[in-house]
A and B are shown apart, each in its own frame.
Chain A
Amino acid sequence: MDFFLYSKIGQMVLALLAFAAVVAVLMLGARVADRVAGRTRNLWALLVFAGPALLLLGVGLIYPAGRTIVMSFMDRRSEEWVALDNYAWVLNNPESLRAFINTFWWVILTPLVATVVGLLYAILIDGKRFEKVAKSLLFMPMAISFVGAGIIWKFVYEYRGAAQDQIGLLNAVLVAVGLEPVRFLQDGPWNTFFLIFVMIWVQAGFAMVLLSAAIKAIPTDIVEAARLDGVSPWQMFRSITVPSIRPTLVVVVTTISIATLKIFDITRTMTGARFGTQVLANQMYDQSFTFGNNGIGSATAVVIFVLVIPIIVYNVRQMLRNREVRGA
């Protein structure tokens, strides 16, 4: 018994066993219901199959999200109503404004650059002998956590005084070509852009994989016909490749935008949000858990949510347009 209660592996096994038991009981119930005739049978099946997931979503996502909206209108301990004070703080406080501006740059630059790099790379290696390996190289950062990626790049950006040997790759290159070493992570306003590059580094592989699949799905007869007409590679790219992969481009850009809006780990690991690199998602964490101000933390979370909505709306509208074009 001690094994199950006091060792981690034991707790894990116990959890899995308990979960298996719950599922088994549910399935047995459905089995019994299968024997019953009529409408109750379907109701039972519905309860067994969809019930657990819907219950969890209700208790663990819908209720908390609603509660967060309520808390965003209350004070730091959620005791008194404060109307729009928290939102006023989020939209007026200089530090919070800094987080807004930084988040704006993150959300503009990351999807744009990651998509351009991914698309360029996908086109360049299309049909090459080493395509598979080449793709894996660019895709690999997707498997690395943001924390790991943060440490990898923190080391690339490492700064030493001009008197010492540089151990950071980037500063070593700068010194080798006769320039002064740069404090990449400490000196604003550029440091935010060096953090943004880490996100680009992680996401480019995702863009590349999706776009490459889309490029391969372009019907060969179109490509062949264009080739026979003697179009230049640039014309081919502009009038055939891009229009054909438009839906995928929208998906890639919106997906990366949403992921970037919620970026938290890179900033936290690389600069701890110091030196003017604060972003909204990290501000939410700091306010709620470091300073214990649930009002401002919740308001920041709601603001992130509101910022996600237009991206989603755009994505859905594009989807509907594509459906009409396809006649599906």
Chain B
Amino acid sequence: MSGTTPANPAVAVGRPATSVPDPMGGRPAPTNRVTTSSRAKKTLSTRVGSAVALVIAVLWTLPTAGLLITSVRPEGQIRSTGWWTFFSDPAFTLDNYREVVFGRASSGALANFFMNSLTITVPATVIPLVLAIMAAYAFSVLQWKGRDTVFVLVFALQIVPLQMALIPLLRIFSGTAVAEAFPFLSIWVAHSIFALPLAVFLLHNFMAEVPRELIEAARVDGAGHVTLFFRIMLPLLVPAIASFAIFQFLWVWNDLLVGLTFSGGNNQIQPLTARLSEMAGSRGQDWHLLTSGAFVSMIVPLVVFFALQKYFVRGLLAGSVKG
């Protein structure tokens, strides 16, 4: 996930719906009662509008298409001609992928880094999610003194740039025996901490929407907090949890700063992004490796994105638009 954070205090938050409407869908255009002359004008302006939209759409997709096409062309052709010649002179190969994923260390050996990214991302998504759901429960269901003050403080922590916490956090871990034995630990912890403020805020917003009567009724029936949490809150929160899980997964998978800082250049834990960024500098002209490598790093987020786009967009909208 590229670094846009959807949350903001700016607005009331969407109701947690149990069924998920598709936020990417359109709505039928309203019917118009118009005269013929204005219809002609309208058609013209619609034409221009559609043309502009088409230009934007092309500009936004062509670079990625070029990368994909280049990644399956033979190296010699990539070096000598532009990727658009692929259509007049098609030559297809998967050699670039073979080389960049399984080849020598100097050409990337991305298989190892792909595993690193996966190893980093799964716990760094699950851990903050669970902790945030629990904390959100404490901020929305439990009644205690100073609750709102602490909540505002947690929310405000979102404005602390990662750069502010990196060096001291790194020092807490460096040189400890635990960090030696479990090299991924520091990355997991760092990602989990940095995700918490936003996660707590978003999930709290969803939980606050749950009717109090429902909670009171359960309490009167003798449900303890644990029962209430697992039996009533969790099922209601599934869409919100899905939204944040996707968001966090994309964020961690695509992160460079934390991965680079906390792996300290160690190939045993460096994520894909760090390796690719390094290759862009050291092998800047080897486009057959850079294009296929970039695509290898993009496959997982793109699949997640297109398969779960609905939930992802709902998560983005939850922090900002009523709906």
Contacts and interface: CB of A to CB of B under 8 A. Distances in A.
Contact of B322 (A141, A155, A169, A217): A217
Contact of A65 (B5, B56, B126, B160): B160
A12 B60 contact: no
A294 B167 contact: yes
A53 B135 contact: yes
Contact of B167 (A30, A68, A124): A68
Interface string A262-286: 1111001110100000000100110
A152 B64 contact: yes
A19 B126 contact: yes
Given A49-B225, A144-B298, A319 B10 contact: yes
A262 B19 CA distance: 36
Contacts of A147: 254, 256, 273, 276-277, 280, 294, 297
A101 interface: no
A138 B60 contact: yes
Interface stretch (A79-87, A92-100, A188-196, A310-318): A310-318
Given A12-B123, A127-B29, A247-B10, A54 B63 contact: no
Interface residues of A, number: 134
Given A121-B53, A217-B323, 12 more contacts: A46-B142, A49-B229, A65-B164, A126-B29, A131-B25, A140-B60, A140-B64, A142-B4, A144-B2, A259-B4, A304-B161, A312-B159
A134 B9 contact: no
Residue from B80, B182, B294 having most chain A Cβ neighbours under 10 A:
B294
B321 A210 contact: yes
Label chain B's interface by main secondary structure: helix
A6 to B, nearest CB: 10
Contacts of A117: 56
A120 B55 CA distance: 12
Interface stretch (B88-96, B191-199, B234-242): B191-199
B10 A315 contact: yes
Nearest to B45: A233
Interface string B2-40: 111110111110000000001111111110100000000
B257 A264 contact: yes
A165 B294 contact: no
Given A125-B53, A148-B298, A214 B253 contact: no
B138 A46 contact: yes
Nearest to A206: B4
Interface stretch (B101-109, B209-217, B304-312): B304-312
A128 B26 contact: yes
B169 interface: yes
Contacts of A305: 159-161, 163-164
B175 interface: no
Interface residues of B, number: 130
Contacts of B193: 56-57, 60-61
A105 interface: no
A304 B23 contact: no
A31 B302 CA distance: 41
Nearest to B154: A57
Interface of A: 5, 8-9, 11-12, 15-16, 19, 23, 26-27, 30-31, 34-35, 42, 45-46, 48-50, 52-54, 56-57, 59-65, 67-68, 71, 117, 120-121, 124-128, 131-132, 134-156, 158, 165-169, 172, 201-206, 209-210, 213-214, 216-217, 220, 223-224, 227, 233, 247-248, 250-252, 254-256, 258-259, 261-265, 268-270, 272, 281, 284-285, 288-289, 294, 297-298, 300-302, 304-305, 308-309, 312, 315-316, 318-319, 322, 328
B161 A301 contact: yes
A328 B50 CA distance: 39
A34 B5 contact: no
B119 A268 contact: no
A136 B142 contact: no
Given A16-B122, A48-B134, A319 B9 contact: yes
B4 A265 contact: no
A63 B281 CA distance: 35
B76 interface: no
Given A46-B142, A68-B164, A264-B256, A149 B2 contact: yes
13 contacts: A15-B185, A46-B144, A53-B132, A56-B196, A124-B50, A127-B30, A132-B22, A132-B24, A147-B273, A217-B321, A254-B8, A288-B167, A319-B8
Contacts of B254: 144-148
A58 B53 CA distance: 47
A146 B256 contact: yes
Nearest to B25: A132
B179 interface: no
B243 interface: no
Contacts of A205: 60
Contacts of A149: 2
A167 B5 contact: no
A272 B11 CA distance: 38
Contacts of A252: 320
A289 B138 contact: no
A53 B200 contact: yes
A135 B20 CA distance: 18
B165 to A, nearest CB: 4
